[in-house]
């Protein structure tokens, strides 16, 4: 077995997982959004908190924005603020799911006036990308229906295709459109982009700047997500990930918390295709809500969970695996993967952090920094950030 440690350390040192700005604000469920002390009041404070995660993990150098949750007067100034904090603004997320006009949909709405409004918002998001220097526009649509007969399933697909084509045409040379699918919620009969196949078909029609985003919480129970990963990778249409985990539906829990083995299997498929580093063209992001746990430590733990799953995947002996697969050695092949999965990679990650001048344990280092107490004391008054649902 060739020693894969040097290669693993090199990849782990360069890994970067984007944080969602909304993870630092208050969040919850329809039953309750719990407020936490010290929560940011604006996108500037959200970036400051995100910078803490990058400071201690060294693997979270960018922050995704969500519009209008992160609306500011001057996006170029916000991008400068991010740079001062040693992070950068990444993916721009549109929001066509919180306006009363969107009750029956946005880009798929039966009324052309509402579709116009939705597309104008998406075009505004591309303007923001021009200001922040972001490459990716991430589109998730809550669009769907709740009752059979409520609207034309194929008619809504026509509206969707037309709306996406207009946005696609507006993209700059180095900009991409990432289409995210989701099985259900908030719609409970049809969702207009419910699965990878629908997203893939629309992206194929749109062109080379359109790719599919896989949110790990957006599948029916039992769906083999790593198959979707392998398939879209093979097609060159995997644009990004929204990492989180779930026990039941779109729980948006910390990635790897509910099913670390699934996360490992996903990272294994990505490692096989050597697409883990930022220049791979795949946007690795967290999409989570820390409803009851402290938010900055929640993000730090999440980055560490991705790093641990990645390290295990990087230790898989690909040559031995290929040989066992070729020989039809079912148990042998499975054992190669399980050996890597059952490897304690925490010492290896502590080494990688030490070589980057970081503390071996990011959670302990952040806790010892006193930052949590500082923001609790400083952020008094003003309106805490949240989903504003």
* Sites of contact with ligand LRH (CB under 6 A): 22, 93, 140, 180, 182, 215, 242, 250, 287
Shorter beta-carbon distance to Mn ion: residue 164 or 213? 213
Per-residue contact flags (x/-) with Mn ion for residues 212 to 241, judged by CB under 5 A: ---x--------------------------
Name the one residue in this structure whose structure tokens are 């894969």. Answer: 4
Site for Mn ion in 147-206 (CB under 5 A): none
The correct pick among 18, 49, 151, 242 for binding Mn ion (CB under 5 A) is 242
| Distance in angstroms (rounded) separating the CA atoms of residues 111 and 192 | 16
Provide the minimum distance between the beta carbon of 254 and ligand LRH in the complex, in angstroms, as a whole number: 15
CB-closest chain residue to Mn ion: 242
Shorter beta-carbon distance to ligand LRH: residue 93 or 310? 93
Question: In angstroms, what CA-CA distances link 96 with 88, 104, 119, 331?
Answer: 24, 11, 9, 48
Provide the minimum distance between the beta carbon of 366 and Mn ion in the complex, in angstroms, as a whole number: 25
Q: Considering CB distances under 5 to 8 angstroms, the limit depending on partner class, which of Mn ion, ligand LRH, none binds residue 182? A: ligand LRH
Provide the minimum distance between the beta carbon of 97 and ligand LRH in the complex, in angstroms, as a whole number: 8
Q: Count of CB atoms within 10 A of residue 9's CB?
A: 17
| Candidate ranges 114-122, 201-209, 279-287, 320-328; the one touching Mn ion (CB under 5 A) | 279-287
Phi, psi of 311 (to 5 degrees): -60, -45
- Strand-pair partners of 246: none
Site for Mn ion in 330-349 (CB under 5 A): none
Provide the minimum distance between the beta carbon of 139 and Mn ion in the complex, in angstroms, as a whole number: 11
Taking alpha carbons only, the member of 33, 39, 36 closest to residue 21 is: 39
Write b or e for each residue in 293-327: b if 16 or more Cβ atoms lie within 10 A of its Cβ, otherwise e: ebbbbbbbbbbbbbbbbbbbbbbbbeebbeebeee
H or E segment to which residue 137 belongs: strand 136-140
Binding site for Mn ion (CB under 5 A): 215, 242, 287
């Amino acid at each position: 077995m060739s020693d894969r440690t040097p290669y693993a350390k090199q990849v782990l040192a360069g890994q970067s997982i984007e944080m969602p700005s909304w993870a630092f604000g208050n969040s919850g469920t329809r039953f309750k959004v719990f407020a936490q002390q010290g929560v940011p009041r604006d996108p500037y404070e959200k970036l400051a908190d995100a910078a803490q995660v990058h400071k201690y993990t060294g693997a979270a150098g960018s922050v995704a924005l969500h519009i209008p949750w992160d609306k500011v007067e001057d996006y170029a100034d916000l991008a400068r603020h991010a740079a001062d904090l040693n992070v950068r603004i990444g993916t721009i997320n549109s929001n066509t799911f919180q306006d009363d006009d969107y009750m029956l949909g946005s880009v798929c709405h039966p009324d052309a006036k509402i579709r116009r409004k939705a597309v104008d918002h998406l075009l505004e998001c591309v303007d923001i990308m021009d200001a922040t220097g972001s490459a990716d526009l991430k589109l998730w649509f809550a669009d769907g229906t709740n009752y059979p007969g409520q609207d034309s399933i194929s008619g809504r697909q026509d509206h969707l295709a037309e709306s996406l084509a207009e946005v696609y045409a507006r993209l700059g040379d180095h900009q991409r459109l990432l289409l995210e699918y989701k099985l259900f919620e908030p719609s409970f009969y049809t969702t207009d982009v419910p699965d990878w196949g629908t997203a893939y078909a629309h992206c194929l029609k749109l062109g080379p700047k359109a790719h599919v985003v896989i949110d790990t919480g957006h599948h029916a129970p039992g769906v083999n997500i790593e198959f979707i990963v392998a398939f879209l990778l093979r097609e060159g249409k995997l644009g990004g990930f929204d990492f989180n985990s779930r026990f039941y539906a779109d729980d948006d829990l910390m990635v790897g918390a509910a099913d670390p083995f699934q996360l490992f299997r996903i990272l294994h498929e990505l490692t096989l295709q050597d697409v883990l580093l930022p220049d791979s063209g795949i946007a690795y992001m967290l999409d989570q809500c820390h409803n009851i746990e402290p938010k900055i430590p929640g993000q730090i733990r999440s980055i560490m969970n991705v790093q641990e799953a990645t390290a295990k995947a990087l230790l898989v002996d690909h040559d031995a695996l290929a040989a066992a697969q070729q020989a039809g050695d079912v148990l042998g092949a499975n054992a190669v993967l399980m050996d890597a999965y059952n490897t304690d990679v925490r010492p290896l990650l502590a080494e990688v952090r030490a070589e980057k001048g970081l503390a071996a344990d990011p959670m302990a280092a952040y806790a010892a920094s006193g930052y949590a107490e500082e923001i609790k004391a400083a952020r008094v008054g003003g309106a805490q950030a949240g989903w504003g649902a």
